[in-house]
Amino acid sequence: MNDDIVLLVDDERNILNSIERLFSEDDLSILKAGNAEEALELVRNRNIAVLVSDNHMPGMKGIDLLSTVRTVSPDVVRILMTAYADLPTAIEAINRGEVFRFIVKPWDDDDFIRTVKEGIDRFRIVRALKRADEATLLSLARTIELKDKYTKGHCDRVASYAVAIAGALNLPGETVRDIRYGGWLHDCGKIGIPGSILNKPGALDDDEFDLIKKHPAWGADVARQAQLSQVIVNIILHHHERFDGKGYPSGIGGTDIPVEARIVAVADVFDALTSDRSYRKAYSMKKGMEIIRSMRGSSFDPEIADLLPLLIREYGEESR
């Protein structure tokens, strides 16, 4: 039996039993509680990985339970079950960081299972990040890459390019080290993105792209929870910002974007351009550098974009 425990909370016993049956073929430990007080007692005394709670219950509501659990045991991944009419409440709770995901009743069985398993993945990531040794961080980054068959080796290359740029800028050694770690982990928020979207052969629709755009904030939340350095958090959160302020998730621009994030932004896009993707073949390194140069001042810090051609000779086509 898996050591990671999933706690289900609902005042209706038949609903708890129905959810438990969804996981009958999975190697999961399931606990059930009929109210918030019972759930809190279990959270305090058991190693709960994921808590799934209905919102409308007698006494303490689910949203209040999950807010309390955030204080009592912050590593617990919190999922809210809610009726469609309460969707704004669930979305607000996600934006405040109180809830990881929500499940709308009546639920789709496959979506429910996938959401809980993504919660378990997030719990394991936070626990692994808290160990914060190099081997663990790199192994975790490579595990996240497995979700997207086109990004094998991406985190290593991004980190290498970013460290070379940071060295050319004479940044302090501790900052360069954290830039390496941030390069490895910049896409850790993608653990919550379905593989069907990451590997889609063609353009994403608006809803799919809106979901993709959430991964920096999700990843930064995980990094904060694991108490990683501010440099690493900045990279994860801001590596999709643009120098002209038209990026995401915050729409900041220029030197308001932390330098570490400006560095990784260039390294990330250059490697994406020169790697095969689901929607196109890789550009040559020469063409990739031309594209980066064309985006200086709009997407990228001009000083950093201008450094890339000088440094990339270290890597050569054959190294890829």
pLDDT of the residue at 150: 58
Neighbours of 81 (CB within 10 A): 23
pLDDT recorded at residue 196? 72
Inform me whether the pLDDT recorded for 35 exceeds 70: yes
Residue where a domain stops, chosen among 81, 98, 126: 126
Q: What is the mean pLDDT of residues 8-30?
A: 93
Show the tokens assigned to 211.
Answer: 């979901």
Closest by CA to 217, choosing from 196, 243, 247, is: 247
The token pair at 245 is 């302020």
Answer whether residue 2 shows pLDDT above 70: no
Instruction: Choose the weakest-confidence range: 4-13, 15-24, 145-154.
Output: 145-154
Of 166-180, 199-213, 219-233, 235-249, the least confident:
199-213
At which of 97, 126, 155 does a domain end? 126
What is the model's pLDDT at position 147?
A: 65
* pLDDT score of 1 more than 60: no
Residue-wise pLDDT for 99-112, tens only, equals 888 888 889 999 99
Hey, which of 74-78, 83-87, 134-138, 152-156 has the most confident mean pLDDT?
74-78
Average pLDDT of span 232-246 = 97
Residues 103 and 143 in one domain: no
Amino acid letter for position 95: N
Question: Residue 102: its pLDDT value, please?
Answer: 85
Supply the CATH number for residue 255's domain.
1.10.3210.10
Average pLDDT over residues 15-32: 92
301 plus 204 within the same structural domain = yes
User: Is there a single domain that holds both residue 228 and residue 175?
Assistant: yes
Confidence bin at 85 (pLDDT 50/70/90):
low
| Residue 178 confidence class, pLDDT cut points 50, 70, 90 | very high
Give the count of domains, the chain: 2
CATH number of the domain bearing residue 66: 3.40.50.2300
Q: Are residues 273 and 308 in the same domain?
A: yes
Smallest CA-to-CA distance from 130 within 223, 235, 216, 230 is with 223
More confident residue, 128 or 113: 113
Q: Quick check: 72 pLDDT over 50?
A: yes
Residues 75 and 145 in one domain: no
- Residue 314, pLDDT score: 60
160 and 305 inside one domain? yes
**In the structure encoding, which two tokens stand for residue 269, read together?**
């896009």
CB-based contacts of 303, cutoff 8 Å, min separation 6: none
CB atoms within 10 A of CB 80: 26
| 50 shares a domain with 88 | yes
CA-closest candidate to residue 190, choices 159, 160, 149: 149
Which of 81, 111, 126 terminates a domain? The answer is: 126
Residue 155 lies in a domain: yes
Choice among 35-44, 51-60, 118-127 with the minimum mean pLDDT: 118-127
Examine the pLDDT at 320 and tell me if it is beyond 60. Answer: no
**Contact present, 62 and 53 (Cβ < 8 Å):** yes
Domain that holds residue 237: 132-315
- State the Cα–Cα distance between residues 230 and 168, nearest whole angstrom: 21
The tens digit of pLDDT for each residue in 251-310 reads 999 999 999 999 999 999 999 999 876 667 888 888 999 999 999 999 999 999 999 887
